[in-house]
Amino acid sequence: MKPTCHIADAVIGDGPADSPVESTLSALGAALKARDAGTHAHSQRLTSYALALGRLLGLPRTELLTLERGVFLHDIGKTYVSEGILRKSGPLSRTEWVEMRLHSAIGYGIASSIPGLRAAAPIVLAHHEWYDGTGYPRGLKGSDIPLGARICSVVDTVDALTSVRPYRFPLSMVKACDQVWSESGTHFDPLVVDAFLAIPPAEWEQLQSSITRRLRLPQPEQVLSVRGRSSRRACTAFRRTF
């Protein structure tokens, strides 16, 4: 099964729009957007990418809902990271890295404090864990990392590589797929990588465009112009925030 543009039609939650959980998600999303519109757009794209992978992997409806909420909130902890760090165009200092890496635990604290979002909180906490155990914050390895977080890790990296960031030029989807493949078994779960790569890059690009149009997200040129920066810099600099 391969995703088509209708996959991008998924929205956060499947309950009434005025339910307590959906209202809370909307409020958290609005707070993230106010803090950093780029991070909010990133979370919107990731949600659709993750749902495409979750469906391909055969997750049941309840797990898809948990995946959807966890991925949408994966960067909510960045509302507590200083704006100077989020928008910095150069390398982060050691002290800045310490602050940036707190966002997973902060986000976990936010999600786990809300009854309807507790099931999604482990995804928020573990989305920067690496399959080989070298990630953060707990150094989890392999299947000890929640599957939702392993899915989030792949799509988080892909979106970061193919989006404009303050510190580098975006890669093509083909090159991003190559990068994911090269880190299968180290950064990423091979099972999730195989599922991701089973979908041609052109279909991921189609989904990306569909999400951008449907949600009226900023186009890359509306976010930042980074002309003159090389693709090589893109390949190395993305690791700064992962």
At residue 199, the pLDDT reads 93
Q: Among 18-22, 109-113, 176-180, 209-213, whose mean pLDDT is lowest?
A: 18-22
Among the ranges given (6-15, 19-28, 111-120), the one the predictor scored with the smallest mean pLDDT: 6-15
Domain ranges of the chain: 5-241
| Confidence at 89, pLDDT banded by 50, 70, 90 | confident
> How many CB atoms sit inside 10 A of residue 188's CB?
23
Mean of the per-residue pLDDT values of the chain? 84
* Burial state string for 202-231 with b = 16 or more CB within 10 A and e = fewer than 16: ebbebbbebbbeebebbeeeebeebeebee
pLDDT-derived band at 10, boundaries 50, 70, 90: very low
CB atoms within 10 A of CB 122: 18
Question: Who wins on pLDDT, 230 or 218?
Answer: 218
State percent of the chain over pLDDT 90.
59
User: Domain 5-241 belongs to what architecture?
Assistant: Orthogonal Bundle (1.10)
CA 184 → CA 46, 48, 156, 180, distances in Å?
Answer: 19, 22, 14, 6
Each residue of 161-187: pLDDT tens digit? 998 776 668 899 999 999 999 999 999
